[in-house]
Structure 1
Amino acid sequence: MTPGFNDEQRGGDKSLNPIYIKNPHLDLMKEDILYHFNLGTATHDLPAMFGDVKFVCVGGSPSRMKSFIQFIAGELNLGNPTDEYPNICAGTDRFSMFKVGPVLSISHGMGVPSISIMLHELIKLLHHARCIDVTVLRIGTSGGIGLKPGTVVITRQSVDASFVPQLEQIILGKKVLRSTELDDTLAEELLQCSKQLNDFETVIGNTMCTLDFYEGQARLDGAFCSYTEADKQGYLTEAYQAGVRNIEMESTAFAAMCKLSGLQGAIVCVTLLDRLEGDQLTSSHDQLHDYQLRPQILVGTYIKKKLNAV
């Protein structure tokens, strides 16, 4: 039996604990300090601050997540998009967090280690705040494979650099493999929202998560490179044949931790270039800015639709 897959997939009694925390040690703690958020159960009234959260949007850049909360405030008529929204995590420089109505916007930094730290504390935050029916959406940028720049990819499965849908972790010196399946229904709902918008091309495909931006993604422009252009093209073609349509560095951790916690999750990333055509960005600043808005627009449309349906 694959380590980590058996008991961790069963979930728990969600009627008693909507956000599934599997850590008996937390019950023995007088206080839970969410260090990287500068929040804690003894210092903050987490249910009062976050109990109404229904949607959490996460992305790498603090400025992008601030931009998103301004955008969604306008979309939901909960504030002026030009207003300043306070950073709830202002006491730390690790992550940024913004909130308007039922929407929480949080930066997660770059790479699996950074997003996994953020998600541990986010999941505990939602648990302590007694949130229910929460949807978590990662919005970001990526490199495409066989897609024109600006195409938005909704992740079907997150796969590792060997195209296997799993997150591999070393825990107590032992290899633990965790499933990276995402919610198919949510992915289809997002795709339908994009079709209704009809503003940009959107596809559902597998997303490859790597541990590095250069050699791990078969780039030729890093400080080190021990392979040829033909090697690169062969690897990326193999990835495409495995259903991979984009590459980034957080999706396996995101998908695995959503599944473990029982959170409904989706990943929506825009492609900034086709990696089969090159490694460096050649689009103009204005064009890249337009591309980066597309995941925000799609996710904002989805949130607005879901809230209007309530």
Structure 2
Amino acid sequence: MGGSINRMKKFANFIKEKLQLAGFAGDKEVSNLSRTDRYVIYKIGKVLTVSHGIGVPSISIVLNEIIKVLSYAGANEVVFFRVGTSGGLGTEPGTVVITKKAVNGSMEPKYENMILGKRFYYPSDLDSKLASQIQFCSQTDVDFPVIYGDTMCASDFYEGQARLDGAFCEFNEQEKMTYLKDIKKAGVCNIEMESLCFAAMCRKAGISAAVVCVTLVNRLKEDCVTLSPEDHEEYQLRPMKLIIPYIINHLLKTQ
């Protein structure tokens, strides 16, 4: 699962190529199976590639619907990945972060949802064994930096991520930097907008899950992405390059 429709189509074609090289029978073409314009679904063998849009509300809808589909299909030994982009904290662009646990803006590893006027909280821990297996792949299969740490899930792109350049801002540069440095000291390696809900819902469903995101900017240095188009394109593929060896090994074990 990833945010962008176009990125997930590229991922689907990337997966198709890698699975064919590994000896799996490939589909003739990658086509969108979704009947809604809210997200796309590409099926490559036993792999689904799905876009989830931006933010917790969007991903929560997609997760509910994909989990139901897999249940109706009788799928078992399912593994979920959220792959995407993020802002790094003290990490240079191009670094891939494997999330240890997802936390909210108060550094709490829990997802809050309002149901019938009441607040419910769900833990957002991820599968540490799965994370370790992905880390092992990083030692042998990739040539870019990979780190393991906490991910902060923000509720919006601007003030919620301590940016000064939105339509509204009620803090200054010094307050922004103090906050970012504080969460860095608390173990946060990157910031994005979906991990908290993703981790909590997968845990609630009993699904093994991991969050693997590349950083496009070091937020301790700047707020805006200044990468070349070529680097931007290549960096976005890095999370998929990291998890592909795991996917292939998992399929070989379960076929």
TM-score range, shorter chain: over 0.9
AA matched with 1:88: L
Q: Which amino acid aligns with 2:231?
A: Q
How far is 1:307 from its partner? 2.6
Give 1:265's aligned residue. Answer: 209
**Cα distance change of structure 1 residues 275 and 71 upon mapping to structure 2, 3 Å threshold:** same
- The reply to whether residue 289 of structure 1 matches residue 233 of structure 2 is yes
- The corresponding residue for 2:7 is 64
Q: Which residue of 1 aligns with 2:110?
A: 166
Aligned to 2:151, the other structure's residue is in SS state strand
Q: What code does the residue aligned with 1:86 have?
A: S
Residues matched between the structures, number: 250
Q: Secondary structure at the match of 1:76?
A: helix
1:191 aligns with 2:138: no
Q: Which amino acid aligns with 1:308?
A: L
Quote the Cα distance in structure 1 between the aligned partners of 2:180 and 2:136.
28
| Corresponding position of 1:88 | 33
Q: Kindly indicate whether residue 182 of structure 2 is the aligned counterpart of residue 235 of structure 1.
A: no
1:131 alignment partner AA: A
The residue type paired with residue 176 of structure 2 is K
State the distance in 2 between where 1:198 and 1:121 align: 33
- Structure 1 runs of 4+ aligned residues shifted over 3 Å read none
Does 2:192 match 1:245? no
Contact 2:26 2:45 in 1 (8 A): no
Instruction: Give the counterpart of 2:95 among 151, 154, 168.
Output: 151
Aligned to 2:57: 113
Q: Secondary structure at the match of 2:107?
A: coil
The 2-side partners of 1:177 and 1:107 are apart by 25
Structure 1 residue 305 displacement after superposition = 2.6
Q: TM-score, normalised on structure 1?
A: 0.79
Q: Which has the higher contact order (CA 8 A, sep 6+)?
A: 2
Question: What letter is aligned with 2:78?
Answer: V
Q: Which amino acid aligns with 2:189?
A: R
Q: CA deviation at 1:189?
A: 0.5
1:120 shift after superposition: 0.5
Residue identity opposite 1:121 in structure 2: E
Match of 1:79 in 2: 26
- Does 1:254 find its partner at 2:198? yes
Query: Hey, what's the Cα distance between the residues in 2 that align with 1:305 and 1:284?
Result: 34
Between the two proteins, what is the percent identity of the paired residues? Answer: 50
Q: CA offsets, 1:2-37, max 9 Å, x none?
A: xxxxxxxxxxxxxxxxxxxxxxxxxxxxxxxxxxxx
The match for 1:30 is none
Q: Could you state the TM-score of these two structures normalised by the residue count of structure 2?
A: 0.95
Q: Which residue of 1 aligns with 2:162?
A: 218
Equivalent residues of 2:142, 2:241 under 8 A apart: no
Task: Measure, in 2, the Cα distance between the counterparts of 1:158 and 1:250.
Answer: 9
Q: Secondary structure at the match of 1:289?
A: helix
For the 8 Å contact 2:86–2:213, the answer to whether it is kept is yes
Question: Tell me, which stretches of 5 or more residues in structure 1 are unaligned?
Answer: 1-57
For the residues of structure 2 that align with 1:301 and 1:289, how far apart are their CA atoms? 21
Q: Which SS does the other structure have where 1:280 is aligned? A: coil
Question: Could you say what secondary structure the match of 2:102 adopts?
Answer: strand
| Matching residue's letter, 1:155 | T
Q: Distance in 2 between matches of 1:301 and 1:62?
A: 23
Letter in 1 for 2:30: Y
Aligned equivalents of 1:199, 1:76: Cα separation in 2 = 20
The alignment partner of 1:123 has SS state of: helix
SS of the residue corresponding to residue 134 of structure 2 reads helix
Deviation at 1:309? Answer: 4.4
Q: Deviations over 1:210-247 (max 9, x none)?
A: 11000000001111111111101100011111110000
In structure 2, runs of 5+ residues without a counterpart are none
